[in-house]
Amino acid sequence: MQNRYVGDVGDYGKLALLRCLIGTSGLKLGVIWHMVEGEKTKTKDGKHRKYLAEGDLHLLQHVDKDLYIGFTQKNFLLEDASHCVQDLYDLLPSDSVCFDENCHLIPSRNEWLGKAERKLENCDILFFDPDNGVCNETAEVSSKHVRMNELHRFWETGKSLIVYHHLGREESHDLQESRLRRRFVEIFRGAGIECFRFRRGTARSYFMIIQPSHRQKLCASVSKMPEKLAALMSPLNEWRRKHSEI
């Protein structure tokens, strides 16, 4: 997560999903932002703000009207405006708890994770928002990724997880999601594993790793998801049909 990208279309989809899943579930949300310093070189990555003024306007304003109003009032449309992740806090589900300490400013990764664990200990479900998503267990630790063993650390405390993952361009999105899903199934024994892809701007996947004790509540939340949001979260409609009898 980088402050310079706060308020882009990815954040809109992210918050719309979290508000829907948590809003009526009775579960308490914790957020680990994985804050990192922005690169010095300017790129177009993450700069998808025109959705508030152009083609997606009529669709997105009906996905979550209160969220849309909040985004427009905060002037997220302006590319050069100064924003920070704290600007999103009042748009999260009520009573959410956020951990936003910069990965680079704490001496060790384990210490950083420990601080997050202590702050979010009373939450039921955690959202992980690394810049690039989940990395291979054999890869070098990166502040822009979260590793499987780190996720499992929080899972073992009884929390359900939602994990952001950036989809690359070297393989099909279906193949990337399928491979990562299989790995989640192997590691998180007994968990419900679901994946939703937000189809606006850069391709983004959200993996839900569901504790058995939370399954009914989260399924009920998804079943109530507005159709206009469901249309942006493939394959969400298929998931809703599969769980319609729960």
179-198 pLDDT per residue, tens: 899 999 999 999 999 888 88
For residue 91, pLDDT over 50 is answered with: yes
* pLDDT averaged over every residue in the chain: 79
> What's residue 109's pLDDT?
85
Distance CA 112, CA 36 (A): 12
Distance CA 86, CA 96 (A): 12
Query: What 8-state DSSP symbol labels residue 246?
Result: -
More confident call, 77 vs 112? 112
Q: For 105-160, what is each residue's pLDDT tens digit? A: 667 888 989 999 999 999 999 999 887 878 866 666 667 788 899 999 999 999 99
